Every structure is written in C-alpha cells, then in structure tokens.
Structure 1
Amino acid sequence: MDFLEPDKTLIYQRCVLASLGDPETARLLDKRQGATRDAVRERMYTSTYVAVATSRCGVEAQTEFNKALADSADLKNKHRAAASETEWNWWAACLLVLFPSIVMLAIGGLLALAVAAAVAAGVLFTLFWRGSAAWFNLRQSLVAAFWGAAWLAQRVELGVCAAQWGEVLEEQGTRPVVAQVVRQMLGDDPDSLFIPGNYEGLRALRAPGYFVDNEALQQLQRKVAHIEYGTIAICGPRGTGKSTLLERCVDAADFGVLAQVPATYTPHDFLLSLSVRLCARYIRAEGYEVPEFTRLSNVRRMLRRVMSRVWRVGRWGAFALPSTALVVWGLSASARSLYSQDADSIADFTRTHVTLLRDHSVQTWQGHAAIASVLAVLAGLAWWRSRHSSWLPSLLGGIWAIASTPVGMVLAFGSIGSIVLDKQVQQQVRHIQLETMISAGLLMVVWVYCLRFRDSGRMLHSRWRIALETIFGPLAFVSGIILLVYLVRNPQTYPILADSENPLRLAGAIGGVLLARAGGWHPRPKESELVTRCRNHLFRLQTIQTSSNALSTNTSQLLSLVTSHTTSVSTVPPNFPELVEEFRDLLGRIAKKKAAQNRAVVIAIDELDRLGSAAQALAFLSEIKAILGVPHVYFLISVAEDVGASFVRRGLPHRDVTDSSLDDIIHVQPSTLKDSRAILNKRCDTLTDPYVVLAHSLSGGVLRDLLRYGLQIREMQEKAQSFELTDISRHVILDELSETLAGFRTLLSKQQWTRDTSGVLGAFRTLGGYLREPCPCTFFDLQLALEQFAFYAAGDRPGPIAHHELGDDARQLIDEASAYAYFSLTLLDIFSAQGLERRTQRAAEQGPDGDPERLAEARQELGISPYSARPLIDSIRKAWSLPLGPSASNHRPRSRAVSCPLHPQPIGRPRTPGHG
C-alpha cells in the first residue's frame, strides 16, 4: 500500500494501525477505561505525536523519500506542461508513430525500418523548414511522451522509497511511541494488568527445556571440576529443585544413572535395582539390546524369532529380487558382448600366471629355490605368532576404508564421463537444435525443483498443515516421466540415449556408487568383555537358572533293568555383601574404560530425603556407603536438611555416618527474586513483575510452590473475571489462607477442648466462613475478623482468644496459624491496594526491610518459628507504612454492595454504597 499510495499522511496512518496490531500492544488495549484502540489512534494522529514519531526515525530514509517525492512532482509538472502545449492528443500521436514502426520491423526487418525512418526524417525536416503546425504538435507530443516515461520510472522509485520509509517509520517511530502512549493511557501500574497467554511451561513442571542455571548448579560444577571422584550430597528444603538438579547433571554427563529411593526400599533391594539399571544403561550405551526375560516357552520364543526373521527376509526379498532381476535383464546383452570380446585374453592371462606359479611351487618343493623356502618358513612362523593379534584384519579393513571410496568415485565419474569422449555422441550432440535444448532444460529444472520441495520436509502453514512431500512427490514423479518420454520420443536425443555402450556406462556408475558407499561399511565389532559381563550380571540378578541331568540304562526285553539319576542345580541369588562386591567391580571397570576416553560417570541417588526421619536416612546411608568411593565415579545424593546439618558439624563433638560417607555437600537454597523472575519468564512470558513478586512471596522461593502459584494466578484471574492485580491478588491470597486455616482447624480438632477454650474453634469457623466465599459486601467483616485473628491471637496481647488454659500443642498450632494469617494480611495490604509501583519505591527508600525479597524471607521464617517470623513481618509493615494494629473498628458502617451475586439486597431495604 505504501508503494501504491506514497502519501506521507497515509503512510503514517498505516504505520499507526500496524503498530496497534502488534501483539505486545494489542493485548493491553481495552483492559482499562479509556485505553481503547480508537483513543490511541486519535492521540497518535495529533501533530505533536506525529512530530515525536517522525523525529525518532533515521534521516537517510526520510531524505530519500522526500527527494523522490519532489522529483516525481517536478517530472509530472513537466509532462503536463508539454502535453498542454500541443493541440493533438499526445498519446494518440505517439501510437501513430510507434505502431507503424513495429509493423515495418516485423514485416521488412531492420533494413525496412531504417528506410522508413529516413523517409520520416525527411518529411519532418520539410515540415520544420516550412514552420508547419504539424511539426510543432508532433514535437510536443514526443516531448510529453518522454517526460511521461521519465515520470513513470520516477514513480517506481518513489514507491520503493515510500515502502522503505514506511518500514523505518513503523519500526523506529510509531511502534515504540504507540506502546508508550498505551502505557500512559493505562494510568498507574500498567504492569499490574494480567494478560492471558500461554502457560504450558507452568503446567509441565518436569518438562525439559525450562531449566534455568542457578548458583547451586554452578557450585556443583565447580566442585566436580576440582575433584577426581567422590560423593557429593545435595541438601535443601523439599521443592527447591534437588531432583531437577540431579536430572540435569545426569543428562549432561557422558554416562549417568539416576535411581530413586522410595520409602519401602531396603538397601538390598535398592542395590539390586541400581545394578540392573547400571547394566541396562551400559548395554544400551554400547549399542546393544538389553535382554528381555519373558515367560514364553522356548518353542514359542523360537517361533517368534523365526517369524520375525522370515518377515524381514521376505520384505527385503520383495524389493531386492525384482530389482536384481531388472538390472541383470538390462545388462545381460552388454555383459555377454563384453565377455565374448575379452574372454580369450582373460583366459590366456590366467593360464600363463597359473603355470608360472605352479613351476615356482615345484622348484621350491624340490629344493631348487632356497630363498623361497626360507621365506615360506618365516611366513609360517609369522602367521602363527599373529594368532593373538588382529593386525591383518585391521590392515585389510584400513585399506578397504581408504581405497574403496576414491576408487568407487573414479569408476562412477569415469563411466559417466566417457560419454563426453565418445566421438559418435559428440557428432549427435552437434545436431541438437536450440529449441530442443531449451525444452529439455526447462523440463529438467521443473523436475529438480519438484525433488527439492519434496525432500525439504516443510509444511504448508495452513489450517490443515499439509506436507510439501504430499504435493510435490507426485509432481516430481510425473515431471520425471514427462522428461524421460520427451527425450526418448525426440529424434534428436533418442540416438544419444540408444548408444550401445550406455548399459555398460550405467553398470560402471552403479558399481562405483556401491563401492563408494561400501567404503563406510565395517563388520560389527565383537561384543566387548564388559558388555558380556553386564549381560551375565543381568541374568544373574533377574533369573533363576536350573540344570537337570538324567541317566537311564536298559537291558534286553526279557530282563529289563532301568536306573534313572536326576540332578537339579539352581543358582542362589547374591546376598548383600556379594552384591556390593560385584557392583563395585562392574562399576569400576565401566568407570576405568570411560576415564580412558576422558568421559565422566555419574551415579545420582534421589529421594533419600523421603525415608521418613533423619535416623532412617542415616541408617540407609550407612548400609549403602559400601558402594561409594569407586574410582572415577561421581556419586550425587539428595539428602534432607538435617542430614546436611550433621555433615556440617563434623569435627565437633558429633560424629555419624556422614563423616565417612560424604566428601562434600551443597545446600540448595530457595530461589531469590532474581532467580524466580528468570524461571517464570522462561516458562511464561506474560507474567509481569508484580505477579512474579506475588508468586515469589507466597512460595518463599521454593521452586515447586513458585510454579504452582504462577498457575494459580491464572486460575484466580478466570475466577475473578478481572485483569487487575488488586482483584487477582486478593483471590489468590485469601484462597491460600482459607486452605491453610482449614488444615490448622483439622489439626486443632484432635486436641482436647473445654467450654472456656472452645472460642478458638469459633474464631477459626468465623474466619473460615468469610474466606470460603469472599464477596464485596462482606469484605469489611472479613477484614475485621482477619485483623482480630492476626493481631490478637498472639499470647502477649489481650483478645477474644484465651491462651492461658490451652495446652502446649494447641497453643503452638494457634500461634502458627495466627502468624500465617498475619503474613497473609501483610500481602493483602501490599498487593490489593492501588499504586503498587509508587508504594514499592517508597518502601525501598526505607531500607532493606522495604525490599520485596523480605516478603519471601518472612514466608521462609514461618517454616522455622512463628515467634521469629512476627518481628520480621512487623519490620516489613513499618517499611511499607502499614499499621501494626487493627485498622478496622466496630463502629465502621457495614453496608452491602449494590450488586452482589452471593447476597442480594432484601426487598424494601434502602440501598447504600458499599465499602468493599
């Protein structure tokens, strides 16, 4: 459109419309009042924003466009001026001159056109000499035609410059300015808008491709790089990504095995499973198939194997036999002709050399050739000494691999290239006309391009995603057949194709190609001893082998004496010490072989932190520590935090199994806000920074919870039917608080309660009822109940919840629930109020307590103690200028909202504006 309509105003308008259609900008429109497409377009059409957008662009493209516009207008004025000075229709006069010239050229050729031009020049000179008006009108018509052609060429250049200027204007001018205008019209906190998008990365927690390098991975890589082998423990809270880190290390290793430790595993069962995995992994890595142990009988397995072989041989023969038959049939005449020509000479050559070899052998046998006898003895001794070496097959294989490819290529190209040296073919090529060469070339170009599109593997970007192979496969076949039929039926090309030596040339080309391809073939190497050991170990671990022997003796029919002896031998499964010894030996051999190739071996043991208590984990570790410490093997074990703490206290008055089992330890800490931002941005590019901070604060930096809250934000947006952070965050925080308090109430129900202490359960029930179905008309009551529970549930403050008669367990649960409610109230006050960006900057000015990272630290501190978490939450509220006591009061009016889907206004009661 810029090429067709090179107008500055229209180009600018089209650039604005294209910028409004940009996905990053279009998704922000119509989300808030006033930020509409029409409003942005109207503002962008004002002179101020036109100047701003134009000034952001480069000068070169705009200068060229202005120059082309001015030149086009100048040429158009000259053309109009020349056309207005003539009394004739200028284009009709030009056609009267041009049409006879074309007819004269077509009929009489260049000579006739030159004669006509000379006559016309004489007539024009006569008219000019007499000063005739016809000469003047014809001259002005030709001048107008000249300026018209010049204007047409300039118009093409103007269209190109206009298209280039439009591209620069949209890219550098209107697109960033439109994005800026949209953010201005959105008002405060434009990033607090929630824009629905693709959330597949949040739904697939273990999906590959979303891993983000963090400090724990870098620390582990440094430790592995500085030790030759050893055992490294990875500890940290659950959900921080220890399993993902182990999977990442195993995938990055040259040879790795990952094993899980479920709670029901015994050390013997675990080591048995790990041995099976190790053997199967190594057999697959070496390119062999892992043996399958099935319950089928020997006959059935043999029949299945035979049927599989028959099917493969039958399928191969269905293609190989017809192909061989056609090739032999096509080359039979040429082969017979070649044999009849060279059979005598080949027979004479063979007879001569066989006679010479026989004479030398007889002389050596009779003792007349002493040197040959000595050489024969030495050759026999050398051959006997080479029985344990493979130098001869290696030498022959190397010669074959080096020589077969070049010899095959020379044979193939020599066979095809011999057609160029054939004098008879050269004479026939000289008689081919240009028309035939052009037709054959066009057909060959069509065929080649059809083949290229067929083998490209591309898909048509349409609704049904049609593969190009489906379309161009038949077209390539048809175009090839047409090309072949054209060459065969054409009398000029048929003699070349029918040359008597072409079958031999084709046979040489095929033989050369097969020989070149055979150069890369080599027989499959013999199964290594280590693979055989792994296969035998699998048989030992997964099967029970039984052997029976029977002996029966018979005498004559009259007197029969039968004796039968049967012996059954069954292998005993290996016990734990034997299994440890075999595992270490097998793993050591594998590691030694990999180390010779500069390749690392990693054994990762996951889920050790799920074995119940720390004592159970340490007991399990003490049982399997016998397999650790294999040379050239890195053992990575995920353990719980208390096991890691035991290792850290080594050397102090505390010793356990970790001192002798672990070489080093890595603590996987919860993610920082920077890490959480990188993780969520990689998995979902539509979550803006306020939502990242919200998910990070709720999760405390725990990776598993971080992804869960990121997905829950999307769920709450659909529930709230709003795009604002204030509404979405309220639903997310209250929903999480509701589930947490419901869990605490379940735990409290198992305690012993009296009439004086049952008010605690009532407070839980009241707050839970508000949280179950929050709505605008009950938000004041919810706020009041939440503040009462968050501020007065602490034991050092008077309130409706009595603590002096509660048991220790009940008091601990209530304090934990109250501290979590206090944390939720803080998040609610921060994220559900307007002006988050402005308040975040003011809080950051108050010091470290105003950093959003402190919210995640408070959530982590709640997992340690509610008593240490409360002072931290108090300091956060001070930095955010939030009250440290209840702000709602009982004398505050409790009016219902005008439109509430859960609590409709009673009939006859006057409606008052709500306070939600």
Structure 2
Amino acid sequence: MSEEFFTDHESWTARAALAVLVDDALEDYEISKALRAEELRAADARTALLGDEALLAKIRMIQDRAEAAGPTRRPRIVEAPEVAWLVFAVLLGVGYLALFRAAWPSLPVFLRIFTTAGLLCVLVLSAWLVIRRAPVLLAGSEPGKFGEARFGVEMLRLGDRWDFALREVVLPELRAYLTAHRKCCYGTKLAFDDQQGLYDEEDLLIVPTASAKRLRRIIERADTGAVALGGQRGVGKTTAIQSMRRGLIHGSEAPAPLVVVASAPANYDARDFVLHLHALLCKAVLDLVSEEVGEPTRSRRAAVRTGLRGLANVVISVAIGWGAGGWLWGGSLLAFPGELWQLLTRDWRTPLLLWTSQPTDRRIALIIVGLLALWLVADALTVAGRWLARAYGRGRHAELRELLAESREPLDRIRFLQTHTSGWSGKLTLPAGGDLGRTRSTQRAEQQLTHPEVVASFREFARRSAATMRDTGVTDRLVVAIDELDKIGEQEKAHQLVNDVKGIFGVPGCLFFVAVSDDAVVSFEKRGLAVRDAFDSAFSELVRLEPFTMDESRLWIAKRLPGIQEQFSCLCHCLSGGLPRDLRRTTIDMVDVTTERYQPALSVVAGILVRTELAAKSGAFTGQARGLEHSDALAELWSKLLRIPESGNAVELAALAAELNQGATQDITDEVNRLRWHSSAFVLFSATLLEVFTEALTEARLTDDLHQLAVARRHLALDPHLAWLTLVDFRKARDLALPGTD
C-alpha cells in the first residue's frame, strides 16, 4: 500500500476520534446546560469543532504519542460491584428454583400458585440484572454515561489517552466556543438571573487568560527549577497559587502534582522557614500517601482490642440466640441446641416444610437464630476481607509505606529538642555499717541542625518523596509555592530571603513557584545587562500576571452574574482597573445596590459606587496631608481636599480636579506636589466615570476605548501624572470638557 493511503487513514482516524470525543463532550450536563442558556444549537457547536484544523492537529498529536508509547493498555480491573450484582442474580435465581423444586410436592394449591408467581418474578429480575451487568464486564471497557458499554476506543488510536483528550482538549475548546458565542445583554437597568461563585473559584468559573495558559504549560513540561510569579498587588498571584493547589491549573496526562503552599513571613529566620516548609511537605506527603495506601497499620494494642471486641460480640450473640431460642422453643436451655441441630440436619433439604411444620414460637426462634448466624457470618467475612486486603496492600505499597515512615520522623523532631537519659546506680553495704555506692548516667541531647543541614535534609526528603510517588504512580511531581513574598515591605529583606532559601531550589521532581513584587520583575527583566541580583540568579523563568482586559472582566462577571447587562460589567472593569481582586470587590458592592433598589439605573449605580470610592479616598488624602509639614501650599490644598465629599455631580468634580491640579509640577520629591497629583487625578477619574456611565451609554457607544479608564485607574497607584494625561486624552476622544476649560 502507498504512503498516501496510510496518511489518509491517519487523518480519517483523527477525524473519527474527534467526532466521537465531541459527541461525548456535548452530552456533558454543564455543556448542555450552557448551550440551552445561550440558546445555541449543539449541531452548530459540533460542526464548528469538527472544522477546527488546530483541534484536529492536537488529536493527531495525542494519537502519535499513544502509538509511540506502544501497547501499554492498562489491565482491565473488574469492579467489585459489577461482580457482586452478577453473583447475586445467579444465586437468587438458582436458589429460588432449588427451593421451588424441593417444596413443590408438599405444597397446598394456594401456595403453589403464590410460589409460581414468585418464581416468574425472580427469573425476570435475575435475567434483567444479567443482561444489564454482563456486557460491561465482557466488553472490557468502562461503562458510558448511561451505563452502556463503550466499544471501539482502540480503533481510534487514542488508547489510555481518551479521557485526557476529552477533558483537556475537547472540553476546553467547547467552552471557548461557548464564550465566543455567548449571548450578551445590553441595557441601563441593572438585572441578572442569579449570582454564583462571587467568593469561590470553581473550574467552570475560571477565565482562561494568557498567564493561566502559560502556567499550565510550565507545570506540564517542567519537573524542576524555580519560577517567579510577578505582577502588581491584586493581580491574582495568590489565586493562581490556590488554583494550583486545587488542581485547576493542570492539563497533563500524568496525575496532578502534590502542591504545598507556604506564606513568606515578614520577619523571618531562614532556618525556621525551611523547617516550616519541610513540615508542610511532610504533612502533605502523609495525607496523600495515606489516602493511597489506605488505613495505616494498627498497633498491637489496637489489634488486641479489636480482637477482644469481636470475641465479645460472638459471645453476646450466642448467649442471646441461646437464651431467646431456648425460651421460645419450649424446652430446656441445655436441650435446645441439640434439638435444633437434629431438626436442621433432618429437614435441611426441604426448608419450606421445615418452616411450615413448626409452631409460631419455634418459627420466631428460628428467625432469631438465623439472623444472628447471618450477622456473625457477615462479620467474619468482613474481618477476613480486611485482613486479606491489608496483607495484599503491604506487598503492593511497600515503597509508599517506607515513605510514610520517613515522613513521620521529621515531624517528630522538627523544632523540638529531644533529650534521652540513661544510667545505672549501685550500693554495697559493709558489715561495719558503712556502704559504698556508685552512680553513672549518660545524657544525650539532639543538637539543633544548622541552616546548611536543614537545607540538605529538605532536599533529600523532597527528592526521595518525588521519586517514590512518581515511580508508584501517585503523582507526577511536587510543587512548592511560596506566597506573599511581594508583601515584604523592604526589598532588601525580600532579596535576603530568596538568597537564604534558594538552596532548596533545583530538587529533581520538585518545582518551586514564588510570588514576587514588581521591583523583582524589573530586576529579572534586566538580566543580560550589567545587573545581577538574587532574583536573577534564583529563578529560571518569570511569569508576569497581567490585569484583566475588558473582555476578560466582562466574561468573569458574566460567569457569576448570568444575564447581566454589559454596561454594568464595563463599569466594574473601569472602577477596578481590571485587577481581579478589586473586580471581585466592586462586583460585590454593585450586587449590594440591588438589595435596596429594584433594577437601579446605570447612572444611579455608578453614582453610588463612585461616591463610596470618593469618601474612602478623601479620608486617605486628608490623612496623608496631616503627616506633612505645614506650609502655605499645603493649607491651600487642604481646603480643596475637604471639598471632595461635598461635590455631588460630575461637573463639580471636574472643576474641583482642575483646582486641585493648579500649581502641580514635575517634582515628584515634593510631598505636597505628589499629593496634588494623586488627588486631582482621582477626582478627574471619578468625574469621567459619572459622565460616561449614564443612560446615554448605548450598545453603539460601548467601545473598546473604555478600557483606557481602567488603564488610568491602574496608573493612579503608580504614576498619577500619567493617569492625568490618560484621562485628558480619553476626554478629548469622547468630546468631554477638559479640566480647567469652560
């Protein structure tokens, strides 16, 4: 056969696999619900995905990897519930039929009719169970969504990567299709269908930003090294780290990594911080490995207690059965066991006649004894099963059990000084009344480890844990995330902390993420120049988290407030500057407005949110002014700052912004001048928001240039002069009056 045939065959299998994967994805409940909510047709989504050549290329790459790995299909594990149902169905039918045949000759007419009807019901039930459960076991594949077996997976050249292709390739593309074709609502009356996830992050609520995609690629490909997470405060570094811990940023075919999160202390000791990391890693390994191995082996004392408890249950059950049965049997207690045994051995072939030939008291006795016997047999089988499972687990998880022991040992000695004393003494009494004595003791105290020893101990444990869990298939790698390093006020302390702990970086199978400040980002980006500092030498890669774009903010809000109007989403984006933390706060404040007003207008909502910001910032400006040295310029500025809360509309705020900006210079070392720029730029920003977000903001005027207001909001914290210039340019483009002009 020609090479063209094989190429066409590979393309055909890729398209066939993609078609089946898309069909499976469209059956997902969340996807179906989203399609109905957006009023989209499943057939249109299917056609769009099948025509995506990039998606088809991803499927072919997965097929090539599956073939390169060879026939590594995992052995089929027969599920215990399926086998149990089949055994129950067979025993139910066969047992009832045997009893029916044995008791038929001696049954009266009415019982024959009743038992015949029961036989038909039992046979139908048994056949239904066999027909429903047997195909799943015979097919050699997992059951589908509705219980049916799924065939033909091997023919599509995906092998064990079927679930990965569905979960990490097709479903994200389908969600992207839903995002691109989502139904946008426009209007100037605030209304939404429901609110969800305003305080929590869920997988379906995460906005797929470029930074999140890059983090996912790093986790997929890198198994060692240190990565710096940069960006200004509130951009979402902590959220990204928590998403790693919850497994939301993970797209590899391997098991999700074990993530350990630690917060960098403001006042730290390097040795203590590494010990803290070591303890957190030990606890995380203990939790994960204990869950994988199962319940840890009990102590000998606990095993003795369990055995005595089981023996007591047996004795109590036998005593209850003997006493109650003997009393109901009508004979003596001593004769009851013998009579019961003779009756059972004589009539065990015809249990129905055994039951019908006995008086009522003896029937009750038989029920009590039978139930107790069944309970004892079930208890014995349960204990035997546990012992067999434990014995099997010891051999199967030998390496993991060794790792458990190695994880417990550091926890016992970290931050504790262990002291052990041993000795002997003796005394010899002499005949004359004297005595001789000698005492000898030895005291051993474990000395505290030095910082290099602590680092070496952490590296060895991390390397051993990563290798063991990777070899046993528990997890692919370890991830240690150090958060809040950017909150250390002095940059020198942050540099010193990185210098002190970077010795733990570079452990094979262990990836480190560290949240750093903007200054660290700048210093890292200067690499290659004649500048080299702690951050440049410690980190192998930098991921800068950027604020949301306007589309990302609108999508973030739309996921949490379905049916909300786009004008209000843009208002929250501009007020927050696109910073995820501030966007959440602003959205919550906007939702709170609806608790007191029914469908408030855009201008009303904007006025409430802006005036709340003005009140808070006015207090901050006056507080900053109190700390400055008194001067004529400060006194003049002070009187203007006190007018900020009194300004009620956009025109008054724009005029006040011009007054605050009078006399401003480029001298950033002058504290009064810096306060003048901050206050005037923020007041002008507030006035611009009130002028733009009114009922006149129709869909046609909802353009991308509104994002400049969010950019100006971010500049307020870094460079208020640049924020002022950005606002002036925006007002020119929107034909708004410039500050200081009539």
Question: What TM-score, normalized to structure 1?
Answer: 0.51
SS across alignment from 1:789: helix
- The answer to whether the 8 Å contact 2:226/2:541 transfers is yes
CA contact (8 A) 2:211 2:545 kept: yes
Aligned partner of 2:439 among 555, 564, 575:
564
2:389 aligned residue: 522
1:757–1:806 CA contact under 8 A, matched in 2: no
| Structure 1: segments with no counterpart, 5+ residues | 1-188, 290-304, 342-417, 429-486, 772-778, 796-800, 845-849, 890-916
CA-to-aligned-CA distance 1:784-807 (integer Å, 9 cap, x gap):
542222234335xxxxx6879998
1:346 counterpart residue number: none
Instruction: State yes or no: 1:689 paired with 2:562.
Output: no
Aligned residue type for 2:687: L
1:794 equivalent in structure 2: 661
Matched ranges for 1:148-297 at <5 A: 191-195=187-191, 201-202=197-198, 204=199, 211-252=206-247, 253-287=256-290
CA contact under 8 A between 2:664 and 2:677: conserved in structure 1? no
Maintained 8 Å contact 2:186/2:566:
no
Q: Which position in structure 1 is the counterpart of 2:407?
A: 534
Contact 2:653 2:686 in 1 (8 A): no
| Counterparts of 2:523 and 2:666, CA distance in 1 | 37
TM-aligned CA distance change 1:807 to 1:704, over 3 Å: closer
Question: 1: distance between equivalents of 2:443 and 2:340?
Answer: 64
Deviation at 1:622, TM superposition (A): 0.8
Q: Does 1:825 align with 2:687?
A: yes
Distance (Å, rounded) in 2 between the aligned partners of 1:238 and 1:860? 11
Corresponding residue to 1:814 among 665, 676, 687:
676
**Structure 1 letter corresponding to 2:495:** L
Spell out, residue by residue over 1:149-182, the C-alpha distance to the aligned partner (whole angstroms, 9 max, x if none): xxxxxxxxxxxxxxxxxxxxxxxxxxxxxxxxxx
Task: Tell me which amino acid in the other structure corresponds to 1:579.
Answer: V
> How many matched pairs?
521
Alignment of 1:83-482 (within 5 A): 191-195=187-191, 201-202=197-198, 204=199, 211-252=206-247, 253-287=256-290, 320-326=314-320, 332-333=337-338, 337=342, 422=349, 424=350
What's the counterpart of residue 861 of structure 1?
715
Following the alignment from structure 1 to structure 2, what is the Cα–Cα distance between the partners of residues 238 and 313? Answer: 59
CA contact (8 A) 1:767 1:785 kept: no
SS at match of 1:766: coil
Q: 1:743 to 1:514 in 2, by over 3 A?
A: same
Aligned mates of 1:225, 1:807 — CA distance in 2: 47
Query: 1:752 pairs with 629, 639, 642, which one?
Result: 629
- Residue 42 of structure 2 corresponds to which residue in structure 1? none
Q: CA deviation at 1:575?
A: 1.4
Shift of 1:708: 1.0
* Cα separation, 1, equivalents of 2:380 and 2:308: 23
- d(CA) in 2 for partners of 1:264, 1:501: 72
- In structure 2, the residue corresponding to 1:753 is in which secondary structure? coil
**1:625 is the counterpart of 2:509:** no
- The 2-side partners of 1:262 and 1:689 are apart by 41
User: Distance between the aligned counterparts of 1:641 and 1:320, measured in 2?
Assistant: 70
Within the candidate set 529, 552, 570, 2:425 is matched to 552
Q: Structure 1 residues 684, 339: closer, same or farther in 2, change over 3 A?
A: closer
- Report the alpha carbon displacement of residue 314 of structure 1 after superposing the two structures with TM: 8.6
Q: Is the CA contact 1:720–1:728 (under 8 Å) kept in the aligned structure 2?
A: no
2-structure distance, mates of 1:756, 1:229:
57
Quick check: 1:232–1:665 contact (8 Å CA) kept in 2? yes
8 Å CA contact 2:207, 2:555 repeated in 1: yes
Q: CA deviation at 1:702?
A: 0.9
Instruction: Quote the Cα distance in structure 2 between the aligned partners of 1:198 and 1:491.
Output: 67
Aligned-pair CA distance for 1:230: 1.7
Q: Quote the residue 2:455 is aligned against.
A: 580
CA contact (8 A) 1:843 1:879 kept: no
Residue 708 (structure 1) aligned with residue 585 (structure 2):
yes
Q: CA deviation at 1:652?
A: 1.5
User: Equivalent residue of 1:555, what SS?
Assistant: strand
Aligned equivalents of 2:365 and 2:660: distance in 1?
Answer: 105
Q: C-alpha deviations, 1:609-664, integer Å up to 9, x for none?
A: 11213222111101100000000111111111211222222112211122331111
CA contact (8 A) 1:757 1:802 kept: no
Change (3 A) 1:716 1:425: closer
Q: Aligned-pair distance for 1:516?
A: 8.2
Q: Equivalents in 2 of 1:616, 1:566: separation in Å?
A: 46
Shift of 1:590: 0.2
What is the CA–CA distance in structure 2 between the aligned matches of 1:593 and 1:263, rounded to whole Å? 34
Change beyond 3 A, Cα 1:876–1:211: same
How far 1:492 sits from its partner (Å)?
11
- CA–CA distance in structure 2, aligned partners of residues 704 and 608 of structure 1: 17
Cα pair distance change 1:723/1:498, threshold 3 Å: closer
SS of 1:602's equivalent in the other structure is: strand
Q: Secondary structure at the match of 2:425?
A: strand
> Are the structure 2 counterparts of residues 335 and 533 from structure 1 closer, same or farther at C-alpha, using a change threshold of 3 Å?
farther
Paired residue type of 2:240: L
- Please state how far the C-alpha of 1:755 moved relative to its aligned partner: 4.0
Q: CA deviation at 1:332?
A: 4.3
Residue 190 and residue 285 in structure 1: after superposition, are their counterparts in 2 closer, same or farther (change >3 A)?
closer
Answering whether residue 604 of structure 2 is matched by residue 604 of structure 1, we say no
> 1:606, 1:637 within 8 Å by CA — same for their partners in 2?
yes
Q: Report how far residue 553 of structure 1 moved.
A: 2.1
Contact 1:233 1:638 in 2 (8 A): yes
Q: 1 CA distance for matches of 2:379 and 2:437? A: 68
Shift of 1:863: 2.6
Of structures 1 and 2, the larger Rg is shown by 1
Match of 2:468 among 572, 578, 593: 593
Match of 1:835 in 2: 696
AA in 2 matched with 1:834: E
- Name the SS of the counterpart of 1:617 in structure 2: helix
Pairwise CA RMSD? 4.2
